[in-house]
Amino acid sequence: MTTSRRLADRKVERFEKNITKRGAVPETTAKKGSQYPVGPILLGFFVFVVIGSSLFQIIRTATSGGGMA
């Protein structure tokens, strides 16, 4: 029964150490940096598609006489 008591005392000691550390933990564990959630190539492709499709729509509307269907 002494080994169980020693094991329990160690667990209680570890738990009490964690209690005293509360609030001293950094908000995020990841390093903060200038990282984007998407890569620059993907962002460039997205901008190209959006601007290209809007330009294509403007040119198509202008050549068809500007009438809305």
* pLDDT tens sequence across 31-58: 666 666 888 899 999 999 999 999 999 9
- Segment 19-28, tens digit of pLDDT: 766 666 666 6
Polymer length of the chain: 69
- Residues 24 and 28: their CA atoms lie apart, in Å, by 12
Where along the chain do its domains lie?
5-65
Give the global pTM. 0.41
Q: What is the pLDDT of residue 4?
A: 87
Residues 6+ apart with CB under 8 A from 46: 38
Q: 36 with 43: CB under 8 angstroms?
A: yes
| Both structure tokens of 15 | 């738990």
